[in-house]
Structures are given as C-alpha cells and as structure tokens.
C-alpha cells in the first residue's frame, strides 16, 4: 500500500502542474487516494481526500445543471 501511495503522490503532483484543481480527474484521484487511506486505516486522511473530491464534484454539478441552458443558447445561434 505504501508503494501505491507514492505513485498516487506522483500523479497528484503531475496533475497539479497540468490540469485545473477543479477538473473531474482531480476528483477521481482524490477519491482513489481516499480509498487507499481507508485500506491503510488512516481515516482522517481518507476523509480529507473525500472532502476534496466532493468539493470538486459539487462544483461540477452546478455546471452540469446549467448545460441544457447552454445547449439551447448554442442551438439558437
């Protein structure tokens, strides 16, 4: 599990340099890291990463809910 955590940390670093912090891939990565911490019985860290993932997903939800309106506007023009 320790090796997996090191790989996730490397991926996290790469993501931080190359994609926005609110990108869905960051939510997925944080979720996966949380699952790993859960397996390691490090529940405070698991919760921390789950909260990060949830925060990103909540922002995405707002955007997704606006998507039908944006499509209608786009179709009119």
**Mean pLDDT confidence for 53-57:** 91
Number of domains in the chain: 1
Residue 66 belongs to a domain with what CATH number? 1.25.40
- The pTM score is 0.77
| More confident of the two residues 43 and 61 | 43
DSSP the chain: -HHHHHHHHHHHHHHHHHS-TTSHHHHHHHHHHHHHHHHTT-HHHHHHHHHHHHHHHHHHHHHHHHHHHHHHHHHH-
Residue 48 belongs to what domain range?
A: 2-76
Q: Quick: pLDDT tens for 14-53.
A: 999 999 998 989 999 999 999 999 999 999 999 999 999 9
């Amino acid at each position: 599990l320790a090796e997996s955590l090191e790989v996730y940390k490397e991926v996290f670093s790469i993501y931080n340099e190359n994609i926005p912090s609110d990108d869905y891939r960051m939510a997925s990565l944080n979720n996966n890291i949380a699952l790993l911490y859960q397996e390691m019985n490090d529940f405070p860290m698991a919760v921390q990463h789950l909260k990060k993932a949830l925060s990103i997903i909540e922002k995405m939800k707002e955007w997704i809910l606006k998507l039908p309106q944006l499509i209608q506007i786009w179709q009119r023009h």
